[in-house]
Structure 1
Amino acid sequence: MANSAHADTLPPGGHAADDEGELALKDLAARYGLSVSGARPGLVPYTRQLWQRRHFIVAFANAKTRAAYATAQLGQLWQILTPLFNAAIYYLVFGLMLKSDKGVHNYIAFLVTGIFIFTFTQSAVLAGTRSISDQLPLIRALHFPRACLPISFTVVQLQQLLISMLVLCGIVLGTGEPVTLKWLLIIPALALQFVFNTGLSMIVARIGAQVTDMKQLMPFLLRTWLYVSGVFYSISVFTRKAPEAVRWMLEANPAAVYIELARDALVESHHKIPMHTWALGVGWALVIGIGGYVWFWQAEEKYGRG
């Protein structure tokens, strides 16, 4: 009875009136060029907006870099000390205790190059995972392409890597490696890795925005990735007796690919890499860089909501 009484109080054709009102609002919005607040633009306009905010991306990255070490007494010197300490610990464990230097002529240069290059990807992924979820006040206060955030955090890691590269080159020279024209190959190698890292950062940024526990899970995933990327050992040596498929999967691992490209450029005593390593580097950069960007853009409307 209550339901029928309530129904009797509704005006005749109530639902139809609502539909007509909604259509009228849509027509009014179309007439004056209005759109839904926060609606996702097309991919090309979105890319154009992102390019227009390139200065914001760099400025945001610079601010984050300064803030990261603002309270430390040694300041940004930790950008150099952290990978050096990691290299010293890993050399003690894997070089001296576990004897992982089999088949490697210059293990110190081999190891340090692997650590510095992998740290670039590792740090970009960790920062990307938090780039949306930790910046919700900024996202809700200002309108801008949300891809600016994971890109900015990847630029921060690139800045730190470039500073660390000065130390890396010094270590490589100190171990007796000569300066050759091949050192110039480090530029395209790092450029490809940056594109790959940016795409991967956007992938984990979208996942991290929806699954908050990803922040806690990611360090374990990255540690596993570290151990299978040939940072401490030569993949070709350790897979001599392994099935061909296992060796191929380890060598095609993107982290291992970019590490090998950097070692081939800087460490003359390192074994010559096959040409398909460069093809893999380009392929990973295109697939993850473009794919990650498009996948991130598809959820543009969802970031900061809820």
Structure 2
Amino acid sequence: MSGRQRAGAATRAPDTEVGPAELAARYGLTVSGSRPGPAVYGRRLWSRRHFIAAFATARLNAMHTGARLGGLWQVITPLLNAAVYYLVFGLLLGTRHGTHGFVPFLCTGVFVFGFTQSAVLAGTRAVQGNLALIRALHFPRACLPLASTLLQLQQLLFSMAVLMVIVVASGEPVTARWLLVVPVLAAQSAFNAGLAMAVARIGARETDAAQLMPFAMRTWMYASGVFYDLRGLTEHAPGWAAALLNANPALLFIDLMRYALMDSVPRSGLPAHAWPLVLAWTAAVGAGGYLFFWQAEKEYGRG
């Protein structure tokens, strides 16, 4: 053996003396299907933002392709819901009395809560409804609940255009407060995304969650002031109950949107510390839902 061959053998010999873990670390190898850290996972999600947007848009375009009115159902559906609630709560139960501008008041509540409701219901099925895609392709699974939230936001934007027409037709002026619609929607979208990711993990493990979630959302809706002004309840409720009702994130988003669009809603009509509470809810649910979903990344699509 020449001197060069002996030197090459000497340099390769240590590879036979180290363990597999050290070799993997030396050559940058990782375990197949391993879960990256939350920061790396977030960067991978960001790198697939175009896929998330395209997936949401494709689902939106396919939703009403078989219907004669097509995409008009994106506007007709919330309007029909508002009409039914007006008949039941406004006319039959008389909650419209004492509420100035009850029609825009009701429509705002229905549209804004409907955004959260739809995001949660779609998020519950985000993993279970896309098992074939999960098992066929490798991508961060959080793309699915995020895409479902983006889909619901796109639908809401159509409804918001109709809502603004309803508000103006009801006699409310266009004011500078309308600019608050953007931060309110941004905060609610982040809140909904975190909530969608949290229920997506629950729905992936417990298939019955998709059947139970509509009942939970309906209960939440009745406690969120969608159909009536909750101040009539909080004024006579115990202190702890009033504080709990006023800290309801769905109520906060609805009240802030009403304040933004309706000049007849005064600042005093908002719960105390509305904006700090909204930001706290958005940060807690957005980050908490992300981490909760990320922890089970390796489990989705298995079994």
Q: Same fold (TM over 0.5)?
A: yes
- Superposed, which structure 2 residues align to 1:217-236 within 5 Å? 217-236=212-231
**What amino acid maps onto 1:287 in structure 2?**
A
Aligned residue number for residue 208 of structure 1: 203
Q: Find out whether 1:268 has 2:268 as its counterpart.
A: no
Q: Find out whether 1:49 has 2:51 as its counterpart.
A: no
CA distance in 2, matches of 1:246, 1:82: 33
CA distance in 2, matches of 1:215, 1:190: 25
Could you tell me which of 177, 182, 185 is aligned with 2:180? 185
CA distance in 1, matches of 2:32, 2:67: 41
CA distance in 2, matches of 1:275, 1:253: 12
Shift of 1:246: 1.4
For 1:265-294, what per-residue CA distance to the aligned partner results, in whole angstroms no more than 9, with x for missing partners?
Answer: 001112322561111111111000011111
Could you tell me which of 31, 38, 42 is aligned with 1:36? 31
| Structure 2 CA distance for partners of 1:271 and 1:97, relative to 1, 3 Å | farther
Unaligned runs of 5+ in 1: 1-22
Unaligned runs of 5+ in 2: 1-17
Q: What TM-score comes out, normalization by structure 2 length?
A: 0.91
- Superposed, which structure 2 residues align to 1:287-306 within 5 Å? 287-306=284-303
**What amino acid maps onto 1:296 in structure 2?**
F
Q: What TM-score comes out, normalization by structure 1 length?
A: 0.90
Aligned residue number for residue 3 of structure 2: none
Aligned residue number for residue 66 of structure 1: 61
- Superposed, which structure 2 residues align to 1:140-289 within 5 Å? 140-272=135-267, 273-274=270-271, 276-289=273-286
CA distance in 1, matches of 2:248, 2:181: 19
Shift of 1:25: 4.5
Aligned residue number for residue 80 of structure 1: 75
Contact in 1 for aligned 2:41/2:140 (Cα 8 Å): yes
Aligned residue number for residue 124 of structure 2: 129
Equivalent pairs: percent with the same residue?
58
For 1:150-190, what per-residue CA distance to the aligned partner results, in whole angstroms no more than 9, with x for missing partners?
Answer: 00000000000011101000001111100000010011001
Contact in 2 for aligned 1:110/1:270 (Cα 8 Å): no
Aligned residue number for residue 95 of structure 1: 90
Q: Find out whether 1:109 has 2:104 as its counterpart.
A: yes
SS at match of 1:134: helix
SS at match of 1:100: coil
Say what the alpha-carbon RMSD is for the aligned residues.
1.3
**What amino acid maps onto 2:83 in structure 1?**
A
